[in-house]
Amino acid sequence: MKTLKIDFDELQKAMEDTVRDAFDYFLDTETGEILILSEDILRRARGLLSEGFDEDMADYEEVEFDVPVEVPEWMEDEIELALDIFLYEKDRYARIPERVTENGYKTMKGFTEKLENLPLKQELLSLLDGPGVFRKFKDALDPYPKLKKLWYGFNAKVARDEMKEWLRTLSIEGVPRYSKKEETPFRAGSP
């Protein structure tokens, strides 16, 4: 199993974007970097591959097309990255999956069942049915800032376990990219 430094906060944000209508997310399994690409860039890259990619070129370092490709200059780097992801996805890049909705429900229910405030507990349990449950759950915790903070910590711990399990399927042991020392750019006494 390979050890890789991962920004778990970024990974969690990627997994919790379950709609994926604007962006998609990939893990660079060599660097641990979380890559975010817009659906527009991905759609353009897929189009380029379907229109003009010569399959015989797949073994070469650089992608070459049968016909000249016209894309805005500001998109070139991102489209090149998207093409790399599509062509070398199995070797280097892994699409970050959406967090399983059922796990989110179980996490909210598990948190709620530990609450001692019975009226709030009943309110939160009643919110676990129907559409918009995640937003309603968070909104119901707004008047309770300490409990909301506990919720975010509880959810992050459960999500971290899910992330580590997914990484294990890739034969990766994820370790936090940033230690507390690295997160603090200045030490006491520094200018």
pLDDT in tens, 89-148: 778 999 999 998 888 899 999 999 999 999 999 999 999 887 888 899 999 999 999 999
**To which H or E segment does residue 11 belong?**
helix 8-16
- For 171, half-sphere exposure in the C-beta direction (CA atoms, 13 angstrom radius) is 6
Average pLDDT, the chain: 84
Distances (CA, A) of 141 to 7, 157, 160: 27, 18, 22
Q: What is the largest CA-CA distance in the chain?
A: 67
Question: Is pLDDT above 90 for 15?
Answer: yes
Is 12 within 8 Å of 160 (Cβ atoms)?
yes
Place 52 in a pLDDT band, splitting at 50, 70 and 90: low
pLDDT score at 175:
93
- Evaluate if residue 65 carries a pLDDT over 50: no
Q: What is the pLDDT of residues 133-160, one digit of tens each?
A: 889 999 999 999 999 999 999 999 999 9
Q: Which residue has the tokens 């409990």?
A: 147
The vertex-41 CA angle with 39 and 44, nearest 5°, equals 105
| pLDDT for position 60 | 40
State the DSSP H helix or E strand holding residue 147, giving kind and residue range, or none if neither: helix 145-169
- Cα(158)–Cα(160) distance, rounded to whole angstroms? 5
Domain boundaries, the chain: 19-97, 101-169
Quick check: 181 pLDDT over 60? no
| Residue 69 pLDDT | 52
